[in-house]
């Protein structure tokens, strides 16, 4: 009996090895380099004309809105002012908030949603920004919130990426989200009430990835707050911030990293920070995992 069990275990291990070799040979993602033409064409706005937002009031200081992006997709979000816009004087600085993977723009306004707390605590950043006199604006990323595709959910995108070696869905999600934000910047830049020299972007996790990419490819962004960005290597080079860091030389960049982050090692985070070419940069390291302590926003008062 023992020999049969042992033989069965050998067959099982051998089968797993064969399956691993097959997966490694056919489905493993390989790094690639962007060509100069790809660099020039990536994240371009083919239609850089004015963007029209359809707005519905939520209160005297907040609006829901939608607009049509570069490819005809509908984008939804919210805009909040620090007080009644009719009573504001002078130009208003703007913070663009970018949510984490699996979340939505709602997290920038509420401490919970559908009974689930906002673990990223970005609603506290919104409160701080409004108290400092900023307008805050946030949209749903592609395949998130109201923009989910029931026929191709986020789990499908990530399974395709990590199991089947298909990067197209993931790269399209991040890339198109960045360009959606460029369209949003078109609208912000055309509004006389906003201070176009103080358009800043803050993002958590995937939102930090998008924020770094957006600031790198669009000079209308001033400051960047990148909170625990995941390590994205050249297997998805199109949307890896490492490929685009040269565009951040004129930005003020604050990187918040976690020493025990399951999505980025200490070495990954330090390399990212070291490669940022800006002379105005700061790296805040926290002894935490990817979900930061609830009070981490208190360390960011100076960013505003």
Query: Domain spans of the chain?
Result: 1-30, 42-303
Closest CA relative to residue 292, chosen from 211, 236, 208: 208
Cα 296 off chain centre by: 18
Task: Give pLDDT, residue 36.
Answer: 86
Burial status of residue 283 (CB atoms within 10 A of its CB: 0-12, 13-18, 19 or more): middle
CATH number for the domain formed by residue range(s) 42-303: 3.40.50.1820
End-to-end alpha-carbon separation of the chain, Å? 71
Signed CA dihedral, 83, 114, 104, 230: sign only: positive
- Measured N-to-C along each axis, helices 168-189 and 154-162 cross at an angle, to the nearest 10 degrees, of 130
Q: Say what the pTM is.
A: 0.91
Task: Give pLDDT, residue 50.
Answer: 74
Burial status of residue 2 (CB atoms within 10 A of its CB: 0-12, 13-18, 19 or more): exposed
Cα–Cα distance for residue pair 114/131, rounded to 1 Å:
26
User: Do 120 and 205 form a contact (C-beta atoms < 8 A)?
Assistant: yes
b/e sequence 76-102, b meaning 16+ C-beta within 10 Å: bbbbbbbeeeeeeeeebbbbbbbbbbe
Per-residue confidence of the chain (304 residues) as pLDDT tens digits?
555 555 555 545 444 454 344 434 445 799 999 988 888 899 998 766 679 999 999 999 999 999 999 999 999 999 999 999 988 889 999 999 999 999 999 999 999 988 889 999 999 999 999 999 999 999 999 999 999 999 999 999 999 999 999 999 999 999 999 999 999 999 999 999 999 999 999 999 999 999 999 999 999 999 999 999 999 999 999 999 999 999 999 999 999 999 999 999 999 999 999 999 999 999 999 999 999 999 999 999 999 9
Task: Give pLDDT, residue 223.
Answer: 98
Task: Give pLDDT, residue 46.
Answer: 72
Tokens matching residue 49? 């004309």
């Amino acid at each position: 009996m023992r020999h049969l069990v042992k033989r069965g275990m050998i067959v099982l291990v051998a089968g797993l090895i064969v399956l691993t070799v097959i997966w490694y040979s056919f489905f493993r993602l390989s790094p690639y380099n962007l060509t100069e033409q790809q660099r020039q064409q990536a994240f371009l706005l083919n239609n850089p004309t004015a963007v029209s937002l359809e707005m519905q009031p939520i209160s005297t200081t907040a609006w829901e809105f939608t607009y049509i992006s570069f490819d005809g997709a509908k984008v939804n979000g919210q805009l909040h002012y620090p007080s009644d816009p009719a009573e504001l004087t002078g130009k208003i600085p703007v913070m663009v908030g970018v949510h984490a993977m699996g979340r939505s723009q709602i997290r920038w306004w509420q401490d919970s949603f559908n009974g689930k707390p906002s673990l990223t605590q970005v609603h506290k950043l919104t409160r701080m920004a409004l108290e400092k006199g900023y307008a805050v604006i946030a949209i749903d990323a592609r395949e998130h919130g109201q923009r989910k595709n029931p026929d191709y959910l986020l789990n499908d995108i990530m399974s395709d990426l990590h199991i089947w070696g298909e990067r197209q869905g993931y790269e399209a999600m991040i890339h198109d989200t960045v360009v959606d934000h460029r369209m949003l910047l078109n609208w912000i830049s055309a509004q006389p009430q906003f201070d176009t020299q103080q358009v800043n972007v803050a993002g958590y996790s995937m939102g930090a990835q998008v924020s770094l990419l957006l600031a790198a490819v669009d000079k209308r962004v001033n400051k960047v707050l990148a909170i625990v960005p995941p390590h994205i290597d050249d297997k998805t080079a199109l949307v890896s911030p490492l490929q685009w860091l040269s565009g951040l030389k004129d930005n003020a960049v604050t990187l918040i990293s976690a020493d025990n982050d399951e999505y980025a090692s200490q070495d990954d985070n330090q390399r990212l920070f070291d490669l940022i070419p800006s002379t105005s940069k700061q790296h805040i390291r926290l002894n935490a995992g990817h979900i930061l302590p609830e009070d981490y926003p208190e360390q960011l008062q100076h960013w505003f």
